[in-house]
Amino acid sequence: MKGLNDGVSPAELKKMEDEAEANMRTDLSAILNEEEMAIFDEYQATVDERMLGQGLDMQLGMFASGLTGENRALVRDVMVDEFLALDTGMRDGSVSFDAESGPMGIQQQALAKARERLAQELDEEQLAHVDRYIQQMQQMAEMAMQFMKPKDN
């Protein structure tokens, strides 16, 4: 499937996603009854948030293990909020990224906004763990960008 890195606009990507979802729903409706479809819809409504939260929880456990349990949950929740807000903005066209930084720039924006919010909530020691986590994520994003750059022949 084509994506933003392939020069597909956010509107085109949204259209492709909507078509894929409609096709999946058509296929599912052939095998699920109304009650089962309602359960599926309920699940789908929060799947992105839950998956993102689980991934962030795992990353925070590896790269910010010094966070208290309560603060780890706070950091995860704030980051989920910021990532989902930017994702929504990309889908509705209110947020865009430049060609240089690509989608990785959106990640950097989300991390910066989350850090700004967390600076108001965490003490210096706990915020230092967040800063190390963000630095690690930035380094990983930079490596990914280097890997994805077209090679000059």
53-99 confidence digits (pLDDT tens)? 999 999 999 999 999 999 999 999 999 999 998 877 766 666 666 55
In this prediction the pTM is 0.75
Q: Which of 13, 48, 47, 44 shows the shortest CA–CA distance to 28?
A: 44
Q: Torsion angle of alpha carbons 130, 4, 94, 19, nearest 10°?
A: -120
User: What does the pLDDT look like over 114-150, one tens digit per residue?
Assistant: 999 999 999 999 999 999 999 999 888 888 777 777 6
Alpha-carbon distance of 119 to 139, in angstroms, equals 21
